Chains A and B, each alone.
Chain A
Amino acid sequence: MISVSAVLYTTSIILILLGLYGALTRKNLIRTVISLDVIDLGVNIFLITIGYIKDGRAPIYVVGSGSLSDQAARMADPLPQSLVLTAIVIGFGVTAVALTLIMRLYEKRKTVEVSETRGLKW
């Protein structure tokens, strides 16, 4: 029996590496930003997997469905979930600024290709 978290960890690492490959090799800046988002996605899956427990439930107390301590004993780890919430918002903020920068550069240059923008070679 393959463990659920092993599958999720593998998926997340593959996503991170795919995104990294894209970010390093793509010349189109829009694609680079998409690659960055793929990395972010992988990282978020990675973080949320850390909070996975076997047969866990959502970490929310429900009044009137069993004693609170019973509920507490079956909850998944809420901490990684809250970290992911923060990480998603931060990733969103970065993407918005990145796209605006690219749009602005496109206005000046009429291209979003790295190879045609001198300063962006690295």
Chain B
Amino acid sequence: MVSPMILIALPLATAFLIVLIGSRVAARWLALAAVALLVGLAPFWFADILRNGPMSIVLADVLPPLGIAFGLDALSAGFVLLIAVSGLLVLLYSVPYIPHAGQFEGAKKAETRYYALFLLLMAGSFGLVMTKDIFNLFVFFEILCISSYILVAYSQEERSLEAGIKYMILGSIGSAFMLVAIGLSYRVAGSLAMNDIGLALAAAPHGYALLVAVLFTLGFGIEAAIFPLNTWLPDAHSSAPSSISAVLSGFVIEVALVVLVRIGISVFGTLMEPALGVLALAGVVVGELAALGQKELKRTLAFSSIGQVSIMLFAFSLGTQSGDWAGLGQLLMHTGAKSALFLVSGYFILRTGSHEIESYRGLARRMPAAAAFFSLAALSLVGMPPFFGFFTKFRIIEVAAAARSALGYAGIVVILFGTVIEAVYLFRIVRVLYGGAIEGARSDALVGIEAAAGADGATPFADGATQGALANAAGSLASAATPTRADLPALAWIAVAGFVALVLVGGFAFPWFDQALQPIAAALATL
């Protein structure tokens, strides 16, 4: 069996090699090969851990706590699989997409560096889920953060530079808080291994433990986008290249959230749970309401990520294993659906050159496949019955009801409310995609017939088009007919289809997925 250390060593070595060679083509192939290798290995580690229990890795031949406590358990192996697979899919999308992502000086050189940065971002995520040492966690957290600051600003347009700066300022304040928390922990525990710190904090004065917990949550919560700390997210996720938005929304915030929850449970005890639950519900309301008011597609999706992540956080904060289980299901669904949505919106932006939702009117007619993928993922995100999202949301509500607490009941109300809002804004987008063409049919019957043929599943949502939309239709139909800028080859669609397949399979084989998630949920509460 290959040592799981390859998860860290291979992406790092490949990134160094990419910079060493300095060729675009080599960078693509090296990155793809390295991640493909990890995707090939990840299921074996997962299976091995399910059979033989957690695998601890001794680093530098020094046993923890003096050495760094590191290892794979069901949770980290599950996340390694998730990160590796979505990393590979997004890389497949990046190969044709990135050359179009930025028009600036040195864009060709930058493309080479993009792959190195992407690999480092993946290495940071792998390290984050595998480490059991609090300072090592900080180091991998920084690798993850810095690579995302840079990647957010990749296109070097004003808005992405701004978003990068904002993200970076908040992120640096967060990491300073984390360092203070680490220092305070070492001071009381005399150790950096998480389980030692957990024991020491339980015995420490309540105020001391509370301060450590608050500082740590403030620091890590910025990356995990917990409600008041998420002001950077809509900017960063919407102005990053779409492949990076897909990664950031698809697994980066989720990884940060899960690691935070895991440390919250095992190190700080139940100190933070009630507060996190309340913040999560506030996040659902704020995120979904803000998403409703957006005019740009990617901003809408970014705000929706805040809402979705808050739903997961709510499930985790219930403090029961079934809550963790339900939250993980939601997480897996969100990775599939949101990555697909961002990748498709990257395609829309590429083709139309516009970020505005209104300018996508009638796109379904010209890009039936893209629109269909978008609609499927959106339906799942909202939680329509045959899709993955329905089961995961239903499960969370079930668990919240079983908690029989005020927070649980409040959660049910808030999640249902959030779902309604989500349905409003996502269906509005879907309606714009399909609706324009159908509105156009009133002036041009032939176009209408074509559109109806292409619109298949989404027609029910299109027939409720309002009079206001009717007024726009003619104008936007004209704008939709402007020449296309660039097209993405089949390679990119494999990536989108992969994420959509996760959402579809998740719905139809939900019991199977549920079964697979159970050991992961069980591992969340242990270290």
Residues of A at under 8 Å CB distance from B? 16, 19-20, 23, 29, 32, 36, 39-40, 42-43, 46-47, 50, 79-80, 83, 86-87, 90, 93-94, 97-98, 101-102, 104-105, 108-109, 117, 119-120, 122
Closest to A98 in B: B168
Chain B residues within CB distance 8 Å of chain A: 135, 139, 142, 146, 149-150, 153, 156, 158-159, 161-166, 168-169, 171-173, 175-176, 179-180, 182-183, 186-187, 192, 231-232, 235
4 interchain residue pairs of minimum CB distance: A119-B162, A105-B161, A39-B176, A122-B231
CB distance from B114 to the nearest CB of A (A): 15
Q: Of all chain B residues, which has the CB nearest A49?
A: B183
Query: Which of B164, B172, B186, B192 is packed against the most chain A CB atoms within 10 Å?
Result: B172
- Given A32-B169, A36-B173, A83-B186; 6 other pairs, CB 8 A cutoff: A20-B173, A29-B165, A36-B169, A47-B179, A90-B139, A101-B153
Q: Which residues from chain B contact A42 at a C-beta distance below 8 Å?
A: 176
Neighbouring B residues of A108 by C-beta, 8 Å = 158, 161
Least CB distance from B88 to A in Å reads 27
User: Interface on chain B toward A: helix, strand, loop, or mixed SS?
Assistant: helix
CA–CA, A39 and B142, complex, Å? 16
Say whether B183 contacts A105, CB under 8 Å: no
Identify which of A79, A87, A97, A120 contacts B179 (C-beta below 8 A).
A87
Please report the number of residue pairs spanning A and B whose Cβ atoms sit closer than 8 angstroms. 92
- With A16-B180, A50-B186 known to touch, is A83 a contact of B135 (CB < 8 Å)? yes
Find out whether the CB atom of A80 lies under 8 angstroms from the CB atom of B186: yes
B59 to chain A, nearest CB (A): 15
Q: Is the CB of A39 within 8 A of B173?
A: yes
Pick from A90, A98, A120: contact of B142, CB under 8 Å: A90
B186 near A79 with CB under 8 A, answer yes
Is A97's CB under 8 angstroms from B158's CB? no
Contacts of A39 in B (CB 8 A): 172-173, 176
A50-B176 contact in complex given A32-B169, A101-B161, A108-B158, C-beta closer than 8 Å: no
Q: Please state if B183 and A36 are interface contacts (CB–CB under 8 Å).
A: no
Chain B residue nearest in CB terms to A12: B180
* CB pair A104 B161 closer than 8 Å: yes
How near does chain A come to B188, taking the closest CB pair, in angstroms?
Answer: 10
In the complex, chain A residues whose CB is within 8 Å of the CB of B161: 101, 104-105, 108
